[in-house]
Amino acid sequence: MEPPSSLLPTCVPWQGLLLSASLLTIYSIPTMAEPTVESMPPAVLEGKTVLLLAHNLPDDLSAYRWFKGEGLLDKDLIIMYDMKSQEARHGKLYSGRETLHPNGSLMLYNVTLEQSGVYNLNIHSADLGQKSVFVDVSVYPLLSKPSVRSNRTAAVEGRDAVELTCEPRLLKTTYLWQLNGKQLPDDNGTILSQGNTTLTLLEVSRHFKGPYECEAKNPLSASRSIPFSLDVFYGPDTPEIFPPNKYFEEGKSLWLSCQAESHPKAQYSWTINGKPWNSKEEVFIHKTSVSNNGLYACLVSNPATGRNNSTVKEITIVEELPKPHIQIKNRTVLEHHFVDLTCVSENTGVSIWWTFNNKRLEATDRVTFSWNNRRLTIDPITKKDAGTYQCEVANPLVSRTSDPVNLAVLYQPSESFPVSALVAAGMAAEVLAGLAILGGLAYFAFFKKLDTSQTP
């Protein structure tokens, strides 16, 4: 918007000039700032000092009054001052720890928590008339070290409830809880009440065991309690037996260990096939035999919780396993005939399988096994079946493999030269070789005798 002078015509009477000058004078007067009151500092600890500093009070102030609260009741008056008589008068809330300054500011000494709240500076002036200016004063307690009180120092898991209280309980104070140095997590089994000063563990678990701390804090101070240790008794859980093995070799040692989660430490005992064995965590048998087969039961108890638990493990002692061997009638077989191989083992109840040229042998229409795999039958046999055969026996602990058996297969190379001829030729060659050896021996003996007779 343009100033009022820009709206005047070029030539005007002198009365118009006077009016314009008056308007310009009013327009140029600066607007007076509104009165305010500031708390210095904005927040204060009890026992300290706070100044309620007044700003922009009018010059024609005639009187002012300080009240606690937003009203103007006599019962809330702290102090008032009359500018004309320059006299101050104390109200009902004056405590002797207040000082009024000439500029209208109010100093509060050694403040208490009850002095927190709204203060009202009510001023009187010719220009403003009567006006109230408000300021909020925040007084916080000076926190000392809190302490934790509990209805019990030890509890049983799943049975007991625990109530922890942080003392003292103060106004304008926030309370936080920590367990094992970490902020207490949200849990369905915990309840915070009484402004978080009370922590209730509805049904304790082992996870609630440890040192508890409560921290009291406000914007100006903080303090943490000495840790309170809560002990939680639990268990015994279902025990575990180590090692997990079920089978042990005959003649070797047997060692079993029983472990169960428990606090305090569980008490242990063992039974073997229903008969008491010992009251230790371990079972040790130096040299086992099949008489040690049976059910091994570990029993655990916790007198602090009054609870018991157990677990049972079946143990089987396995006989020593010697190397097997293969029985076979003929290691040279004619093609299209059949062959039986038998795996001989001193042990019963073992697993048996066969290998051919170091590869697992599977059943086919020509290759069959007996019900317990001890006998291998190949019928009819072909030249592809020539090679190395072995059998392997195993119990749950170890396995043993037989020495290899080489099987030869004689086959007919062509129809014009039957296999029988080859066999006959082979036998004839063996006969001729034998006769040659005998002839050579006779010849050698004859000349040896002749040489002896001619010696002088």
Residue found by looking up tokens 């103007």 in the block: 72
Angle at 40 between CA 45 and CA 110, to 5 degrees: 40
The chain-wide mean pLDDT, for the chain, equals: 85
Adjacent-strand bridge partners of 6: none
Q: Is 448 part of any domain? A: no
How much is the pLDDT for 203? 87
| Domain end residue (candidates: 195, 218, 233) | 233
Note the pLDDT tens digit of each residue in 243-273.
999 999 999 999 999 999 999 999 999 999 9
Q: Is 31 part of any domain? A: no
CA–CA separation, 391 and 326 (whole Å): 7
Residue found by looking up tokens 């120092």 in the block: 153
Which tokens is 87 given? Answer: 């006299």
| Domain end residue (candidates: 200, 233, 266) | 233
41 and 133 belong to one structural domain: yes
Note the pLDDT tens digit of each residue in 388-404.
999 999 999 889 999 99
Q: Which domain holds residue 381?
A: 325-410
121 and 165 belong to one structural domain: no
Q: Is 20 part of any domain? A: no
With 70 as the cut, is the pLDDT of residue 455 above it? no
How much is the pLDDT for 349? 83
Q: Is 437 part of any domain? A: no
Q: Is 110 part of any domain? A: yes
91 and 122 belong to one structural domain: yes
Adjacent-strand bridge partners of 248: 317
| Omega of the bond leading into 30 within 30 degrees of 0 (cis) | no
Which of 383, 373, 378, 392 shows the shortest CA–CA distance to 329?
378
Q: Is 109 part of any domain? A: yes
Neighbours of 322 (CB within 10 A): 11
What would the DSSP string read from start to end of 279-319?
SSSEEEESS--GGG-EEEEEEEEETTTTEEEEEEEEEEEEP
CATH of the domain at 285: 2.60.40.10
Gyration radius (Cα) of the chain, Å: 56
Note the pLDDT tens digit of each residue in 117-152.
999 999 998 877 899 999 999 999 999 999 999 999
| Domain end residue (candidates: 369, 384, 410) | 410
131 and 178 belong to one structural domain: no
81 and 166 belong to one structural domain: no
Adjacent-strand bridge partners of 53: 38
CA–CA separation, 234 and 267 (whole Å): 13
Element housing 14 (H / E): helix 14-28
The CA–CA distances, whole Å, from 247 to 285, 322, 412 equal: 14, 17, 52
CA–CA separation, 388 and 385 (whole Å): 9
With 60 as the cut, is the pLDDT of residue 6 above it? no
- Secondary structure class of 425 (helix, strand, coil): helix
* Strands in 101-242 per DSSP E: 106-108, 117-125, 129-140, 147-150, 154-156, 162-167, 174-179, 182-183, 190-193, 198-201, 210-218, 221-224, 228-233, 240-242
CA–CA separation, 283 and 276 (whole Å): 12
Q: Is 387 part of any domain? A: yes
With 90 as the cut, is the pLDDT of residue 10 above it? no
How much is the pLDDT for 33? 83
Note the pLDDT tens digit of each residue in 414-444.
544 454 444 444 444 444 544 454 455 444 4
How much is the pLDDT for 126? 82
Note the pLDDT tens digit of each residue in 298-338.
999 999 999 999 999 999 999 889 999 999 999 999 999 99
63 and 130 belong to one structural domain: yes
Runs of H (alpha helix) within 107-167: none
- Number of folded domains that form the chain: 4
How much is the pLDDT for 127? 79
What would the DSSP string read from start to end of 236-280?
PPPPEEES---EEETTS-EEEEEE---BSPPEEEEEETTEE--SS
Enumerate residues 6+ apart whose C-beta is below 8 A from 350.
Answer: 321, 393, 394, 395
> How does residue 107 score in pLDDT terms, banded at 50, 70 and 90?
very high
Residue 162's Cβ-count burial label (10 Å; 0-12, 13-18, 19+) is buried
Which tokens is 400 given? Answer: 């043993």
275 and 366 belong to one structural domain: no
62 and 82 belong to one structural domain: yes
73 and 163 belong to one structural domain: no
Note the pLDDT tens digit of each residue in 189-203.
899 999 999 999 998
